[in-house]
Structure 1
Amino acid sequence: MRSPRISTPAAGLLAAAALLFAFGGPVSQAAFGTPTASAAAAPAAQPAAEQLGSPYVSTHLYFGTGRHNGNPPITEAEFNKFLAEVITPRFPSGLTLQEGRGQWRDKEGDINSERSYELTVMYPVREAAARNADIEYIRKLYCKTWELESVGRADVRAQVDF
């Protein structure tokens, strides 16, 4: 059985109405150009977030403090010394450090819970290559110093304004 044929103008209106309905506008108001109540009450257009600030990278490093082979955990004093002597000289403009509780599965399959630190540093995108070298140096030295498997890393693009 053949489907009924819809004329081209009617098909266009139906398609437009379906799209408008799918994207949240009431079909009756959207199809006829009538502003919705929310659109009429909306404040004047504000600049998009992309227009504020400058393009940056926000890098988050996750430092665990648990050690292997029965060695005691990395102390707060030891971590603070590493922060002062290794991290701060590479990011003297600023950083954020938060203490937390972390959990991860090691290479032997054991789940480890430990006190951890999340370090956040932000830098302009144009400095990403140079900062990457600093970040990888920090990660490798931390692992080597305390014989650890890894320091977690997450990089996020951001628009930043100070």
Structure 2
Amino acid sequence: MRWTSDTRGKAAGGVLAALLGAGIPALVGAALHGHAGEPYRETRLYFGTQRTDGRPPVAKGEFMRFLDREITPDFPEGLTLRDGYGQWRDGDGTIVREASYEVVLLYPEKEAAARGSRVERIRRAYEEQFRQDSVGRSDDELEADF
């Protein structure tokens, strides 16, 4: 039996071990935990357009007036509006499909309590004005920089 030594293999193995042991976890950690800015809250609101009173769906112009009157004054620094299509199951078990609007709001996390009450006021106003069963809401914490 003959033993040989390959210094290139040992060197490559040593480099690989060093990367696995220290380098790669550090890079992955930096990528996963990098700071993109300040703590922010992202709130998404989902506005359906079908009315419960049988009237025609909420038209784009009607929604834009609602946006200008009810949402923009509380979030003047900006927002994102997306046209959508949604579906949900009503109380009778019927699947309701409808055009919808998604509004994305970003605001500093430290303002979350005050802004949250504004969001709730907006939801109630839309439900009342356009005869909606509900306006969907989701919140997420993130980091943002502008």
Q: Same fold (TM over 0.5)?
A: yes
Question: Aligned equivalents of 1:53 and 1:83: distance in 2?
Answer: 28
Q: Which residue of 2 aligns with 1:58?
A: 42
SS of the residue corresponding to residue 51 of structure 1 reads: coil
Asked whether the 8 Å contact 1:57–1:125 carries over to 2, the reply is yes
What is the deviation of 1:51? 2.7
The answer to whether residue 123 in structure 2 is matched with residue 123 in structure 1 is no
Rounded Cα–Cα distance in structure 1 between residues aligned with 2:101 and 2:18: 44
TM-score by length of 1: 0.72
Percent identity between the two aligned chains: 47
Comparing both chains, which one has the higher relative contact order based on Cα–Cα distances under 8 Å and sequence gaps of 6 or more? 2
The aligned residue for residue 133 of structure 2 is: 149
Residue number in structure 1 paired with 2:94: 110
Q: 1:81-140 CA distances to partner (integer Å, 9 max, x unpaired)? A: 000011000000000000011111112221111000110000111000100110000000
For 1:41-68, what per-residue CA distance to the aligned partner results, in whole angstroms no more than 9, with x for missing partners? 96x9595544330101000000000112
Task: Please show how residues 5-24 of structure 1 align to structure 2 within 5 Å.
Answer: none
Count residues in correspondence. Answer: 130
Query: Aligned partners of 2:18, 2:68: CA distance in 1, in Å?
Result: 52
Q: 2:19 aligns with which of 39, 58, 64?
A: 39
- Secondary structure at the aligned position of 1:36 is classed as helix
The residue aligned with 1:100 is 84
Residue type at the aligned position of 2:19: A
Q: Kindly tell me: are residues 34 and 129 of structure 1, through their superposed partners in 2, closer, same or farther at Cα, counting changes over 3 Å?
A: same
- Structure 2 unaligned segments of length 5 or more: list them: 1-12
Measure, in 2, the Cα distance between the counterparts of 1:56 and 1:50.
15
Normalised by the length of structure 2, the TM-score is 0.79
Whether the 8 Å CA contact 2:44–2:138 is kept in 1: the answer is yes
Is the CA contact 1:50–1:159 (under 8 Å) kept in the aligned structure 2?
no
Contact 2:53/2:131 (8 A) holds in 1: no
The runs of at least 4 consecutive aligned structure 1 residues that moved more than 2 Å come to 33-42, 44-52
1:100/1:39 Cα in 2 relative to 1: closer, same or farther (>3 Å)? same
